[in-house]
């Protein structure tokens, strides 16, 4: 029976790289994004390059609790993922003391609440079958405070805390929990920046790290994986 992976925000950047890496290993794919055209392009790409796998690509805005719940139900109608990657995220620059009204709520809802609700949507089934691997896509901003990124950092610190708690809770149930703490990775959000591409990590390197962490024996788990550009943070 084939394995499956659920990656939120799977049409671009790190999410897309993870989808492609696991699809290449024969995993069925569940994913979502807000843009219908991006989902259609991803689905066509996967069908063309990995015709043996099953794909469920759903339009959803996971900053909204009701859309998370709907997405969970749509996935459950097909199956329970073996791997869950909480990747959905948004970055809005600004300082805590004077950022635009609503930035805090949007980033917390998108970066943290979506992962909380989605994980709760599947974890009981994972517990019942005593298997599963949950990844949360954190950030080095969840380890170090950066100016002009206050609320984003707050959301990523909270994500790391939630992941640590999940790790402790799920130990007895043979479910692995891993926090990926990535530095600057070249994705569309960095396009146009006045830095050479070589200064950034590749999204495919992050995906390769997720794949490697997944492939450890049942006796071992990567709890936290920090990945930075070779020359350090940007």
Active site residues: 152
Q: Output the six-digit token pair for 38.
A: 């991006």
Q: How far is CA 12 from CA 32, 89, 92, in A?
A: 11, 11, 17
As to burial, measured by CB atoms within 10 angstroms (0-12 exposed, 13-18 middle, 19+ buried), residue 148 is: exposed
- As a dihedral over the C-alpha atoms of residue 206, residue 207, residue 209, residue 215, rounded to 10 degrees, the angle is 170
Q: Output the six-digit token pair for 28.
A: 């069925």
Give the integer Cα–Cα distance in Å for 180 and 213.
10
Helices 13-23 and 36-49 pack at an angle, to 10 degrees, of 30
Closest CA to 85 of 42, 38, 137, 37: 137
Q: Which helix (H) or strand (E) holds 181?
A: strand 176-182
Parallel, antiparallel or unpaired: strands 55-59 and 28-33:
parallel
Q: Which position has the token pair 């708690």?
A: 165
């Amino acid at each position: 029976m084939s394995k499956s992976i659920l990656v939120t925000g799977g049409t671009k950047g790190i999410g897309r790289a993870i989808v492609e890496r696991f699809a290449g290993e024969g995993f069925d794919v569940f994913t979502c994004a807000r843009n219908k055209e991006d989902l259609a392009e991803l689905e066509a790409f996967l069908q063309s390059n990995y015709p043996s796998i099953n794909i469920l690509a759903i339009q959803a805005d996971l900053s909204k609790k009701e859309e998370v719940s709907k997405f969970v139900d749509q996935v459950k109608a097909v199956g329970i993922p073996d791997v869950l990657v909480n990747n959905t995220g948004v970055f809005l620059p600004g300082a805590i003391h004077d950022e635009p009204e609503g930035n805090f709520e949007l980033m917390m809802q998108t970066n943290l609440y979506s992962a909380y609700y989605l994980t709760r949507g599947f974890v009981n089934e994972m517990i019942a079958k005593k298997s599963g691997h949950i990844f949360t896509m954190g950030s080095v901003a969840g380890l170090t405070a950066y100016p002009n990124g206050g609320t984003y950092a707050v959301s990523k610190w909270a994500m790391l805390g939630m992941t640590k708690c999940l790790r402790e809770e799920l130990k007895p149930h043979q479910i692995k929990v891993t926090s990926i703490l990535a530095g600057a990775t070249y994705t569309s959000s960095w396009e146009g920046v006045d830095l050479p591409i070589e200064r950034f990590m590749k999204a495919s390197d992050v995906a390769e790290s997720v794949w490697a962490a997944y492939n450890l024996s049942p006796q071992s788990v990567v709890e936290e994986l920090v990945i930075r550009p070779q020359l350090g943070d940007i």
